[in-house]
Structure 1
């Protein structure tokens, strides 16, 4: 997937009103405040933090962590980790992993949860009601939080302000404008970007049973809604010829940057590059599809504590997480263009003034968190294969629906 690993003002109200994901867990009741540790510990511990954020963000984390260490008498080492998440699971199992993993895509939590390595979030670490509801759902299993949300990301519609006169609010309008010469391209064979069309038509990955519980035996990528989405996606390539059969994220971005396409779907990670290239663009909420909201995946950067460490280390680790959650959100927004998951930060003047962030969050209001269970690992490959076959016109929508469900279920069976 392209979660780069492929996301606000009235946004707080928008997102809070759209808590259509699993119910938030009532696991944390105290508001995010200063670190609970007011005096050095009688028995100092040494914590290791791994982060999958960027280098500058690691430095920001380290600054807060070292201040916390000085005030508590503990020691902290913050390491930038770019390794495979399966390697982290293995490291923790062998007693050599981090005490805290800070800033990993929440859909990777499933492997750690399956291995029994996630410590439940204790009461008082964060106030879950102070976070965007979908972000809490993303880090919960069966209604209980096992990580805390650091930031969010979602995709939006980029458009060339030098070419587009009227920003489309329906996909039918976007399609008409695109076929009329403006063009529309995106990484159509990437399931992360394309899922929104499937969700808008009534498809789903795993059935949501409520309270953060997903049923991996109920795959909704083969129902009638999903078939309708596959037909639309195939038509964009085969009939409308808006995208090439081998369209990729790189080719779509290049076409947008060069002015060959006026519409492009992507995420916050592309904003800075386009600005530096002096592209005249803006970001809007992705238009509705057949009268239904586009339903993008929401990605949440999460932090968890290693449940295999000692009680003393876990207690100190959660105290550090609490401090990071208090001091870092606005810094991460400035440093890494991260959309804050905390509503108070989303409502800050600095964040509210960013129209592009507002647009991404407006798209996210209708989104769903990417499934965070281990079975999701069996989805990406089969879904990408079927999307490629559709683009190549080598399969029809009905057969695509049958194939993707079968292949996903076979993959899940192999995980057991």
Structure 2
């Protein structure tokens, strides 16, 4: 899941000990003469198993030893590992909101000219997600967003509006982690809010939209869910909301494709629908894009890009089947694997109206202020206007500290 791997604002100052890198990364990159490539992967274990087979097939054909490592370390580890020459040649499966921090640290190789054929991808936003200041620093692999899960045994017809979800939810239950910007963003965006202004692909961190009139309306909707409509408790978390949906206590839940496998295993009779409208307006959820890049510190640049191309062309199926991820390539969306996945097409439809997460370093200053202030909002200790102001003030302060 995208949000699990958020890089902290203090990432550049990370001071992890070298021993961490051995546990996280295993074999280090070597010289071109050694013909050995190391890939750190942040995908799920099942995906990594299949990715290893793909990488080793390429390696056997090329006479190159490929080490695919399940990197369970925090994202901060990459910066120090790369700077100490103990990092990988390729990092595979990195959420796009981390790219700006890595690029600022000088650790991303620019994607070679012509390497990405933009016409083969599902949207310009996918390309924008790996583009910083007009240059591409990673390749897009797959996408995620959130949608509305519902219990088919309790809901005969899926509501078309959030207003209807709220009213029906009073009878059958509606819960989700309202403090999570990733899940709540759509309710802000539908009213005219945004995180940072996107000017034709250039993200302006000086223009923060989380305090405008649209944001205030969105915060009010979120507060009403708890304070007025009493749909969930003030201490709601994703673990609570997910458990209540899985047990049948709640009939509506907002989340992403990462929860599909658990719900299938639980036996719950569930469906997924695109997000209903709010106030008659489209709910534009956040799009997270899983990416891969070549380390600027890798001594194996040509080999790494050659392997990257092979992995790009042969990883759609494994990420669909083993990771419940949405392809970003047109070929992936049209593949038999995707068509057979079930429910996944709903997320692809939601992605058509989703907004790509900003990939500039300043995005890391947003998650905590939003969470903390929404906690105060739903406790009733602040109103929506105060919440908006506090969030923007704290983001501005966080950006100052980054400089």
Whether TM exceeds 0.5 here: the answer is yes
Give the alignment partner of residue 220 of structure 1, picking from 209, 212, 221.
209
In the other structure, the counterpart of 1:132 is 122
Whole-Å separation in 1 of the counterparts to 2:317 and 2:114:
21
In the other structure, the counterpart of 2:292 is 303
Confirm or deny that 1:237 pairs with 2:232. Answer: no
Name which of structure 1's ranges 281-290 and 59-68 shifts more when overlaid on structure 2.
59-68
In the other structure, the counterpart of 2:367 is 380
Q: What do residues 152-192 of structure 1 show as CA deviations (whole Å, max 9, x unaligned)?
A: 1111100111111211111112122112x022110111111
In the other structure, the counterpart of 1:24 is none
Whole-Å separation in 2 of the counterparts to 1:294 and 1:116:
36
Correspondences of 1:383-398 after superposition (within 5 Å): 383-398=370-385
Give the alignment partner of residue 71 of structure 1, picking from 55, 58, 61.
61
Q: What do residues 293-328 of structure 1 show as CA deviations (whole Å, max 9, x unaligned)?
A: 111111111100011233xx1111011010001111
Task: Please identify runs of 4+ aligned residues in structure 1 that moved more than 4 A.
Answer: none
- Give the secondary structure class of the aligned counterpart of 2:225: helix
Following TM superposition, by how much is the alpha carbon of 1:221 offset from its aligned partner in structure 2, in angstroms? Answer: 0.5
Whole-Å separation in 2 of the counterparts to 1:351 and 1:84:
30
In the other structure, the counterpart of 1:116 is 106
Give the alignment partner of residue 84 of structure 1, picking from 56, 74, 86.
74
Following TM superposition, by how much is the alpha carbon of 1:129 offset from its aligned partner in structure 2, in angstroms? Answer: 1.5
Give the alignment partner of residue 292 of structure 1, picking from 269, 281, 288.
281
Q: What do residues 353-391 of structure 1 show as CA deviations (whole Å, max 9, x unaligned)?
A: 444101112122111111111111111111111111111
- Give the secondary structure class of the aligned counterpart of 1:345: helix
- Give the secondary structure class of the aligned counterpart of 1:103: strand
Taking only aligned residues, the RMSD between alpha carbons, in angstroms, comes to 1.6
Q: Do the aligned residues in 2 keep the contact of 1:333 with 1:339 (CA within 8 Å)?
A: yes
Confirm or deny that 1:271 pairs with 2:260. Answer: yes
| TM-score normalized by the length of structure 1 | 0.87
Following TM superposition, by how much is the alpha carbon of 1:44 offset from its aligned partner in structure 2, in angstroms? Answer: 5.5
Q: Do the aligned residues in 2 keep the contact of 1:256 with 1:262 (CA within 8 Å)?
A: yes
Using CA pairs under 8 Å that are at least 6 residues apart, name the structure with larger relative contact order, 1 or 2. Answer: 1
Unmatched 5+ stretches in structure 2? 7-31
In the other structure, the counterpart of 1:323 is 310
Q: How many residues align?
A: 377
Whole-Å separation in 2 of the counterparts to 1:340 and 1:44:
34
In the other structure, the counterpart of 1:107 is 97
In the other structure, the counterpart of 1:13 is none
In the other structure, the counterpart of 2:169 is 178
Q: Do the aligned residues in 1 keep the contact of 2:88 with 2:298 (CA within 8 Å)?
A: no
Give the alignment partner of residue 260 of structure 1, picking from 232, 249, 259.
249
Confirm or deny that 1:346 pairs with 2:333. Answer: yes
- Give the secondary structure class of the aligned counterpart of 2:178: coil
In the other structure, the counterpart of 1:207 is 197
In the other structure, the counterpart of 2:23 is none
Q: Do the aligned residues in 1 keep the contact of 2:321 with 2:337 (CA within 8 Å)?
A: no
| TM-score normalized by the length of structure 2 | 0.90
Following TM superposition, by how much is the alpha carbon of 1:130 offset from its aligned partner in structure 2, in angstroms? Answer: 0.7
Confirm or deny that 1:412 pairs with 2:403. Answer: no
In the other structure, the counterpart of 1:33 is none
Whole-Å separation in 1 of the counterparts to 2:337 and 2:98:
30
Give the alignment partner of residue 345 of structure 2, picking from 355, 358, 383.
358
Whole-Å separation in 1 of the counterparts to 2:297 and 2:185:
35
- Give the secondary structure class of the aligned counterpart of 1:97: coil
Whole-Å separation in 2 of the counterparts to 1:290 and 1:100:
45
